[in-house]
Structure 1
Amino acid sequence: MNSDHISLHNKQFEPYLTADQLATAIGAVAARLNQDYAGQQPIFVSVLNGSFMFTADLLKAVTLDCEVCFIRVASYEGTSTTGKVKEVLGLTEELAGRPVIILEDIVDTGHTMRMLLETLGAQKPASLEVATLFLKPDCLQHPLEIRYVGLSIPNDFIVGYGLDYDGLGRNYPDVYKAV
């Protein structure tokens, strides 16, 4: 095994995407947001814990006047989704009549995103869109229109850049996939 591989909880991971590749994808999403929301003041709703790095880097490249808030939901245990979404930390900001963009690290089954779109949509925002760093189209179990996608990827289990395996691996600047 070469030194680029990492081990988390006795599971092996190999390099998948570099920090530079991620920065390019995030820059492209930010450019589209800057264009599409010119003259508006959107509120970005960042889904913790996984999206914290994506949110930070994306908002550095967003040139709009905007707000950011955070919501925490959980649906994963280990390497697979539980299929049940548990809201852990609620949203306190008023979204009615405002352009809202949900920031997510990864959309795979769509369970979490479906719940978030229903929950936030009930507040009657002016618009409600999703920006995700990663989309696994082959895993989607719900019809979702994700307008802003950094990278579409296959159904690999990945860690790094905010994504974890039972709490570990979020701090890596690159993304690794399970071997």
Structure 2
Amino acid sequence: MQINVDGTLMNVGVLFSEIDIRERTKVIAQQINQDYGTKETLVVLIVLHGALIFGSDLVRNLEMPTEIETIRIKSYEGTSSTGNVTLVTPLPSSLDGKHVLVIEDIVDTGRSIDFLLKELQKTKALSVKICSLLDKPEAHEFPVKANYIGFTIQKNFVIGYGLDLNGKFRNLPYIANLTKA
């Protein structure tokens, strides 16, 4: 399939189907359920907008009581990282004394997660773990590693299932590689 992105023709190649994502999300949820049990409350901190769809699907498979919070950070313009991370919304004030699971769409350079972890260290959370739908190890520039990873991908630009290009294509039910035609 091809799409037009601001006058440039781009190829869209499906990497992970809707079924692949659903099945992997269930496996990750089982791991989280085993690690946290069913008694303690888990604060699920979804990084907007990219992780919203994944976070929603993941939370429906968790067995412990959950509190859902959101945070918005920004580090991309188009297909490239700006090199700067901005906290668009403040951290929730309800993290003190609780276990926090950050849900991210992708660990690319690691800059965003590194920034967010440093911000979370300023809270009094009991623990902080990272769950990322995608991990791109070849692109890592920061020593961060997600505790739970959906899929490992190559150093390509991807869209769909929450991941976007300038705010578009988040609604695709699959994850696709995007390359110039």
Alpha-carbon distance between aligned partners in 1 of 2:65 and 2:45, rounded to the nearest angstrom:
15
What's 1:44 paired with? 44
Give SS of 1:89's match: coil
- Please say if residues 44 and 100 of structure 1, whose CA atoms lie closer than 8 Å, have aligned partners that are also in contact: yes
> Per-residue CA shift, 1:135-164, capped at 9, x if unaligned?
001111111131111111111110000000
Size of the alignment, in residue pairs?
Answer: 176
Q: Match for residue 13 of structure 2?
A: 14
Structure 1's 5 and 20: CA in aligned 2 closer, same or farther, altered over 3 A? farther
Q: Secondary structure at the match of 2:151?
A: strand
Which runs of 5 or more structure 1 residues have no equivalent in the other structure?
none
State the one-letter code of the partner of 1:30.
Answer: A
Query: Partner of 2:149 in structure 1?
Result: 149
Aligned 8 A contact 1:163 1:170 in 2: yes
**Further displaced range: 6-15 or 50-59:** 6-15
1:126 maps onto 2:129 in alignment: no
Residue 169 of structure 1: how far off its partner (Å): 0.5
Q: CA deviation at 1:167?
A: 1.2
1:66 maps to a residue whose letter is T
User: Residue 124 of structure 1: CA displacement?
Assistant: 2.2
CA distance in 2, matches of 1:40, 1:156: 38
Instruction: Please name the residue that 2:61 is paired with.
Output: 61
Letter in 2 for 1:56: S
User: Given the alignment of the two structures, is residue 159 of structure 1 paired with residue 159 of structure 2, yes or no?
Assistant: yes
1:29 paired residue number = 28
User: Structure 2: 5+ residue runs without aligned partners?
Assistant: none
TM-score by length of 1: 0.94
TM norm structure 2: 0.93
SS of 2:93 mapped into structure 1: coil
Whether 1:72 aligns to 2:68 is no
SS state of the match for residue 32, structure 2? helix
Give distance in 2, aligned partners of 1:75 and 1:178: 19
Alignment deviations for residues 89-108 of structure 1 (CA, whole Å, 9 cap, x no partner): 11233212210010000011
Secondary structure of the equivalent of 2:55? Answer: helix
Contact 1:157–1:177 (8 Å) recurs in 2: yes
Q: Aligned equivalents of 2:134 and 2:18: distance in 1? A: 14
Instruction: Rate the CA distance shift 1:18–1:7 in 2: closer, same or farther, 3 A.
Output: farther
Question: What is the alpha-carbon root mean square deviation over aligned residues?
Answer: 1.2
- Contact 1:133–1:150 (8 Å) recurs in 2: yes
Instruction: State the alpha-carbon separation in 2 of the partners of residues 5 and 56 from structure 1.
Output: 29
1:12 is displaced (CA, Å) by 2.6
1:162 and 1:171 in contact (8 A); partners too: yes
**1:5/1:15 contact within 8 Å kept:** no
Q: What residue is the counterpart of 2:112 in the other structure?
A: 112
